[in-house]
């Protein structure tokens, strides 16, 4: 092998994979109900006062004594503005949202805690926001009222081909716990993402062409609903809620507290990275889009085009994971290089690793321990840092064509001329992902050959003018690509500026999602700027 192993694609794109569990801010709309919603089945319950939907009030209706009573009732703990550690407790992954000042952050240690928080919020007219990993690109996992944080429900256990995973388990710990049992699940690469946010919106990762999306492996869920009931959902019990929670996005139908997920046995895998000079990018991108989505299911790859003022030129790379030996991968990589016109690579790395180490590599934590691969606020050994980022996403259902490829390259060239960082990553789809029918789960994007995520990176504290320029560049680049892409977008890369987001995220599955919403949240308690709208 040549070259040396490089940090993960996340270190190039500097973005978090997966949105947070949900939130409550504003907005409502949608189409009319096509048929009556199904009746929810029996469940356990902590009574919730019969009030209207949780409001946007600051909590003035709740006295200090009432907040203290809530704190005393919780198995977890409640952090208030006067509490020590409040400024850390309100942080999301993106520092741009550090100005949020919720009235309380409840670290729920049990489903009962979630029930009590919902009852309290509805009784006192408080807005509710739900937080797992806190990675919502739109900042939808915070608000002015009560934040329900599920990170204390983070247990992971495995046996008999299934794993039980708490909603707040972070991916680095999910992988670590399961790898210790010789099994794993298909999931994302960002180590600090919460499991609920990933799974509820779909869950794309490096083995999904072989094993499906995260949501495809979920066999049952425990959900606390807007009226305070704790219900189970699977193919036989509350099947519409089960369907909606596999790709319908977080924070729309209730607070999921745990998941049961099918596992697969792990084996050593092969990781690879190929770099080309920027002059070859126009050949590499179309070659990759013809190669990766049609390859064997064991192959997953992404193509990253990026610019960084610290480098002498922009660069093109293809990274990936192969569920097999390095020797069996060699003919495939040779075929990619031939398809790219035989352009000489700058470097080519191929190496075998345990599945556990490969997941740390994908997380950008190849030289770190599991305990270090987290933020300092998530554990004393954590060494990762929060980073702001602007991002947009697309799905490709066919080749870009010459004009589409030229538009992609022009975006990188434009960002390079600004002397700033920018990138696009194309992740391969196909395989097991596309063998699932678009209406079998709420995740509708089953005809894509690749997803695309465009990213503008900058440092915390960057001046407003820099952010404005980055946003203008990103918006202009995105607009230039409209003729060449499907119009779909990944709901876990939630985009607060996206027009027609309902169709972009959910497509033909939107009307059914609205019917499920009406059945389980008729008061629109789980409401935020891009929540599933009630029919009407």
Q: Which DSSP string do the residues of 259-296 spell out, in sequence order?
A: EEEE-EE---EEEEEEEEEGGGHHHHHHHHHHHSTTS-
Calculate the CA 226 to chain-centre distance. Answer: 23
Asked if 366 contacts 319 with a C-beta cutoff of 8 angstroms, the reply is no
Look up the CATH number of the domain holding residue 303: 3.40.462.20
Rounded mean pLDDT of 448-473? 91
pLDDT score of 16: 27
Specify if 221 maps to a domain: no
pLDDT of residue 39 exceeding 70, the answer is no
Specify if 138 maps to a domain: no
pLDDT score of 13: 43
Specify if 436 maps to a domain: yes
Specify if 66 maps to a domain: no
pLDDT in tens, 307-361: 999 999 999 999 999 999 999 999 999 999 999 998 899 999 999 999 999 999 9
Strand-pair category, 422-428 with 299-307: antiparallel
pLDDT score of 52: 31
Distance CA 408, CA 406 (A): 5
pLDDT score of 536: 84
Rounded mean pLDDT of 285-313? 97
pLDDT of residue 54 exceeding 50, the answer is no
Q: What angle do CA 290, 294, 300 make, to 5 degrees?
A: 100
Asked if 194 contacts 200 with a C-beta cutoff of 8 angstroms, the reply is no
pLDDT score of 60: 55
Query: In this structure, how many other beta carbons lie within 10 angstroms of the beta carbon of residue 344?
Result: 10
Phi-psi region of 443 (alpha: psi -120 to 50; beta: other; left: phi over 0): beta
Specify if 276 maps to a domain: yes
Question: Token pair of 496, please?
Answer: 């607060």
Mean confidence (pLDDT) of the chain: 90
Band of residue 459 on the pLDDT scale cut at 50, 70, 90: confident
Residue that has been written with the tokens 């009574």 in this structure: 47
Asked if 74 contacts 116 with a C-beta cutoff of 8 angstroms, the reply is yes
- Give the chain's domain count: 1
pLDDT of residue 500 exceeding 90, the answer is yes
pLDDT of residue 18 exceeding 50, the answer is no
Q: Range with the lowest mean pLDDT among 57-61, 101-105, 129-133, 420-424?
A: 57-61
DSSP annotation of 33 reads: P
Query: What values do phi and psi take at 116, rounded to 5?
Result: -65, -40
Distance CA 85, CA 378 (A): 13
Residue 339's domain comprises 9-14+269-353+388-495
Which has the higher per-residue pLDDT, 44 or 526?
A: 526
Asked if 321 contacts 206 with a C-beta cutoff of 8 angstroms, the reply is yes
Distance CA 402, CA 532 (A): 37
Asked if 351 contacts 359 with a C-beta cutoff of 8 angstroms, the reply is no
pLDDT score of 48: 34
Specify if 200 maps to a domain: no
pLDDT of residue 9 exceeding 50, the answer is no
SS3 82: coil
Specify if 36 maps to a domain: no
pLDDT score of 457: 86
pLDDT score of 27: 22
pLDDT score of 45: 40
Distance CA 170, CA 213 (A): 17
Question: Token pair of 224, please?
Answer: 């606390």
Residue 531 class from Cβ within 10 Å (0-12 exposed, 13-18 middle, 19+ buried)? buried
Distance CA 330, CA 325 (A): 9
Distance CA 313, CA 330 (A): 28
Asked if 200 contacts 441 with a C-beta cutoff of 8 angstroms, the reply is no
What are residue 67's DSSP bridge partners?
none
pLDDT in tens, 241-285: 999 999 999 999 999 999 999 999 999 999 999 999 999 999 999
Specify if 322 maps to a domain: yes
pLDDT of residue 392 exceeding 70, the answer is yes
pLDDT of residue 40 exceeding 90, the answer is no
What are residue 307's DSSP bridge partners?
422
Residue that has been written with the tokens 């690879």 in this structure: 272
DSSP annotation of 375 reads: -
Which residue, 36, 70, 22, 50, is CA-closest to 227? 50
pLDDT of residue 20 exceeding 60, the answer is no
Distance CA 355, CA 175 (A): 9
């Amino acid at each position: 092998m040549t070259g040396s192993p490089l940090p993960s694609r996340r270190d190039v794109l500097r973005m978090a994979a997966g949105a947070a569990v949900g939130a409550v801010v504003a907005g409502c709309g949608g189409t009319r109900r096509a048929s009556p919603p199904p009746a929810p089945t029996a469940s356990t319950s902590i009574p919730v006062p019969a009030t209207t939907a949780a409001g946007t009030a600051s909590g003035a209706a709740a006295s200090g004594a009432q907040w203290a009573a809530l704190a005393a009732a919780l198995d977890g703990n409640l952090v208030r503005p006067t509490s020590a550690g409040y400024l850390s407790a309100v942080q999301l992954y993106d520092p741009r949202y550090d100005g949020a000042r919720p009235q309380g952050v409840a670290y729920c240690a049990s489903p009962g805690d979630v029930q009590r928080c919902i009852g309290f919020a509805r009784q006192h007219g408080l807005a509710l926001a739900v937080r797992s990993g806190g990675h919502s690109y739109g900042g939808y996992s915070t608000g002015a009222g009560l934040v329900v944080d599920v990170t204390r429900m983070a247990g992971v256990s495995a046996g008999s081909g299934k794993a039980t995973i708490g909603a707040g388990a972070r991916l680095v710990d999910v992988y670590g716990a399961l790898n210790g049992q010789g099994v794993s699940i298909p999931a994302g690469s960002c180590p600090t993402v919460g499991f609920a946010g990933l799974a509820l919106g779909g869950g794309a990762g490096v083995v999904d062409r072989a094993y499906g999306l995260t949501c495809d492996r979920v066999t049952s869920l425990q959900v606390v609903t807007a009226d305070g009931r704790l219900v189970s959902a699977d193919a036989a019990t509350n099947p519409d809620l089960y369907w909606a929670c596999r790709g319908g996005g977080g924070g729309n139908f209730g607070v999921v507290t745990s998941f049961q997920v099918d596992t697969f046995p792990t084996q050593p895998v092969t990781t690879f990275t190929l770099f080309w000079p920027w002059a070859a990018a126009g050949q590499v991108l179309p070659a990759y889009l013809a190669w990766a989505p049609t390859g064997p299911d064991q192959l997953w790859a992404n193509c990253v085009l990026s610019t960084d003022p610290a480098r002498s030129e922009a660069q093109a790379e293809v990274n990936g994971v192969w569920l097999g030996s390095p020797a069996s991968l060699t003919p495939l990589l040779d075929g990619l290089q031939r398809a790219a016109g035989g352009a000489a690579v700058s470097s080519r790395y191929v190496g075998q690793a345990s599945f556990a180490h490969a997941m740390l590599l994908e997380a950008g934590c190849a030289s770190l321990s599991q305990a270090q691969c987290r933020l300092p606020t998530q554990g004393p050994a954590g060494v990762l840092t929060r980073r702001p980022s602007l991002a947009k996403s697309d799905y490709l259902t066919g080749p870009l064509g010459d004009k589409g490829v030229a538009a992609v390259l022009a975006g990188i060239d434009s960002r390079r001329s600004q002397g700033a960082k920018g990138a696009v990553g194309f992740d391969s789809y196909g395989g097991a992902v596309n063998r699932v029918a678009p209406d079998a789960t709420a995740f509708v994007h089953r005809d894509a050959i690749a997803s695309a995520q465009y990213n503008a990176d900058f440092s915390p504290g960057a001046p407003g003018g820099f952010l404005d320029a980055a946003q203008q560049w990103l918006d202009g680049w995105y607009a230039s690509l409209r003729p060449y892409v499907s119009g779909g977008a990944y709901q876990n890369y939630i985009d607060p500026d996206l027009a027609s987001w309902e169709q972009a995220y959910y497509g033909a599955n939107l009307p059914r999602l609205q019917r499920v919403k009406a059945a389980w949240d008729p008061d629109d308690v789980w409401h935020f700027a891009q929540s599933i709208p009630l029919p009407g």
